[in-house]
Amino acid sequence: MGFLNKLFGKNGGAEQPEGSKLKQNQHPCKTEQELLERYGGIGFERQLDFADVIGSNSWNVDMQKGEMDFGPGLVFPIQVLGSFSHSSETWLWAWANTQSGIPQKLLQQALQLQKYGADNEIDLLNISQFDATKDDMHMIGMVASGMFGASAYYIADYGQGALVVTIKSDLIDKVQKNDHYRIPTVFPQLISQFEMNHKAALSNYLMAKGYKVTENDRKLTGSKNGNTITAEFDELDRLTKLSG
């Protein structure tokens, strides 16, 4: 997790309707693994662009305004997903954290994830508190970012724990590099960080970027605007070749 850990904010001491609509154009995921394979690719890619925007800036959060501040001109609306305790190594969903007084308008995505988990029997989304790792924070952030079309997620480390939020901002969206040639670089980074079905994850990543995807046995092809990505896999759907 070395690369993703660079997006932890250290000791920093609004509602977003357009970024809180759950996309329903595909059949529901039924497991944590399916969630990661569906949304991990596009969520991971957005983190690269977000890192370019905020650099190494520190953070501050204003829960009443629903904003996270990374410095002049870098104040973004947030949705609060939950928090991780370093001491107990547990995750607590924001909708279950009644003592914190998080404004209801900042819980839209967390509540929709809870309902999704209840409807599809995914414990990760539906159990209020559970043992977790730092990797789980990244997984939850990426899934939410991809699922809701957020600009990015952020892990705001405040010492005793870390707050995980999603961010939606035109400023971030405008700098996102929708470059065909970054796919062969981004995707290998993703599968080196997380265990997943490579073939399913790449297919979903390409479709999220607007590619038409075709599969033929152990080969996958994605096409968009005259550009083509080709991938080959072994009998266990592990990536063996990626070019484009």
Residue 205's H or E segment, with its range, is helix 198-208
Q: Which residue is associated with the tokens 């995914």?
A: 122
Q: Is the dihedral of CA 83, 72, 2, 205 positive or negative?
A: positive
Token pair for 15: 């509602």
Positive or negative, the CA dihedral 194, 207, 188, 174 is negative
The pLDDT value recorded for residue 231 is: 97
Which amino acid, one-letter code, is at 243?
Answer: S
At 25 the pLDDT is 54
Model pTM score:
0.86
Q: How far apart are CA 213 and CA 179, in angstroms?
A: 17
CA distances in angstroms from 97 to 111, 155, 203, listed in the order given: 12, 17, 36
Quick check: 35 and 122 in contact, CB under 8 A? Answer: yes
The ranges assigned to domains in the chain are 2-175, 180-243
CB 40 within 8 A of CB 196: yes
| Cβ pair 129, 135 in contact under 8 A | no
| C-beta separation of 8 from 162 below 8 A | yes
Q: Which SS3 state, helix, strand or coil, does residue 83 take?
A: strand
Neighbour order of strands in the sheet with 212-216: 212-216, 219-224, 227-233, 239-243
Q: Quote the pLDDT of residue 17.
A: 38
Q: 225: which 2 tokens?
A: 């605007």
In which residue ranges of the chain is pLDDT below 70? 1-25
